[in-house]
Amino acid sequence: MINLFKYFIYEDYNDSIIESSKLTLSNSEFLIISKQNELEEVLKKNYQFDYYKIDQINEGLKRQAKAFCIFVDKNLVHITWLALNNVSKKFVDDWPMKIDWSNTGVWGLAYTHPNFRKNGFYQYTHKQIQKFLLNKNIKFNRFTIKKRNIPSISAMSKFKPKNIAKGYSFHLLKFKFRLSIPINIK
């Protein structure tokens, strides 16, 4: 059996005009976890990862990805990952694309627990990623979204990212083939 998945590949330009935003729930907190020792410190402070597997977080950190997290009552309810090199990109977004790491980051694997959706956590985190990248003088970020993931496409449309390619992923048994078709932007 052959499965076909359609993707959009986006690029977002980070400029210096990022509106400030606040978390919508008073009992929410934003943290960036970049290294294993930072995760250990968070765990010592009784933060919980009930909705997300701690093994996945350990794997992402081991591969040098950065976790942008929102906690509500010290329980992780949203996470988005950021890659700044090829090692971390393989964890965050395995879509084949050429990246100039001197001015581009790649984010993905965003997840919000269903009980906490529609609180603006996805968009808040995206703004925090933009700020993080700008502080490193990185002007672009890229991400892929499945064509059928309407909630993600809708949330990201507020940032007006540029759709730079269409992607097609064909799965036949255990084999995966991918094809990207650049979009000519005038």
pLDDT, tens digit (0-9, with 9 covering 90-100), for 29-78: 999 999 999 999 999 999 998 878 889 999 999 999 999 999 999 999 99
pLDDT (tens digit per residue) in 83-106:
999 999 999 998 888 899 999 999
Tokens of 30: 């934003």
pLDDT (tens digit per residue) in 135-181:
999 999 999 999 998 888 888 887 888 999 999 988 888 888 888 88
pLDDT at 133: 94
Number of structural domains the chain divides into: 1
Bridge partners of residue 76, in order along the sequence: 71
For the chain, give the number of residues.
186
pLDDT (tens digit per residue) in 107-142:
999 999 999 988 989 889 998 999 999 999 999 999
List the CATH number of the domain containing 102.
3.40.630.30
Phi-psi category of residue 116: left, alpha or beta, with phi > 0 → left and psi -120 to 50 → alpha = alpha
pLDDT at 186: 53
pLDDT at 97: 87
Query: What whole-number distance in Å separates Cα of residue 66 and Cα of residue 60?
Result: 7
pLDDT at 2: 81
Tell me how crowded residue 67 is: count the other CB atoms within 10 A of its CB: 22
Side by side, which strands form the sheet with 162-172? 28-33, 66-72, 75-83, 104-112, 140-146, 2-13, 162-172, 175-182
Query: What whole-number distance in Å separates Cα of residue 98 and Cα of residue 3?
Result: 25
> Is 70 exceeded by the pLDDT of residue 16?
no
Which sign, positive or negative, has the C-alpha torsion 82, 92, 76, 18? positive
Query: What whole-number distance in Å separates Cα of residue 56 and Cα of residue 67?
Result: 11
Single pTM value for the model: 0.89
Residue 93's domain comprises 2-182
Which sign, positive or negative, has the C-alpha torsion 177, 156, 159, 24? negative
